Amino acid sequence: MTKSNLDLKARKMLKAVKLYCTSGRVAVLNVLIRANKPLKQAQIARRLGEDHFDKVSIYRTLESLTDVGLVHKAYVEKRAAHFELAHHCTKSQCHPHFTCIRCGNTYCLTGMVLPMARSPHEGFIIYRQQVRLEGLCPACA
């Protein structure tokens, strides 16, 4: 996808949720569209080029995109937030993620459907389900 096509897609996404099309928002969405996997804030910053956007601006941009549901946080390793587009998820359930224990790569398992968990314990209310699987990817197996 060319940069102009990415920019157009990002702008359409922002207009759909009634957010201003700032250069920072468009740039962050472009990184996430290209990535096709969850990224940490530092990885997003590296891909943007740290000369263009500071960490605080990237964080605020990610939070605003999360607040409107374009992006969500996926907790992939050691409870560190990773960010990705939310188009494969519902409000209550994120698609599963697979992390290779050898190479550390994380993959989105968007074709895998898992039933929503129900707590056997009284008083627990589940609002959101995120599933993380670990094992060996095809390259490491």
How would DSSP label each residue in 76-130?
A: EETTEEEEEE-TT--SSBPPPEEEETTT--EEE-TT---PPP--SSTT-----B-
CATH number of 1-87: 1.10.10.10
pLDDT of residue 137: 93
Pairwise CA distance, residues 6 & 50, whole Å: 20
Summarize pLDDT for 2-18 with one digit per residue, the tens: 778 878 888 999 999 99
Summarize pLDDT for 80-107 with one digit per residue, the tens: 788 888 877 767 677 888 888 898 888 8
What pTM was computed for the model? Answer: 0.74
Percent with pLDDT over 70 in the chain = 93
> In the chain, where are the structural domains located?
1-87, 89-141
Mean pLDDT (whole number) for 121-132: 84
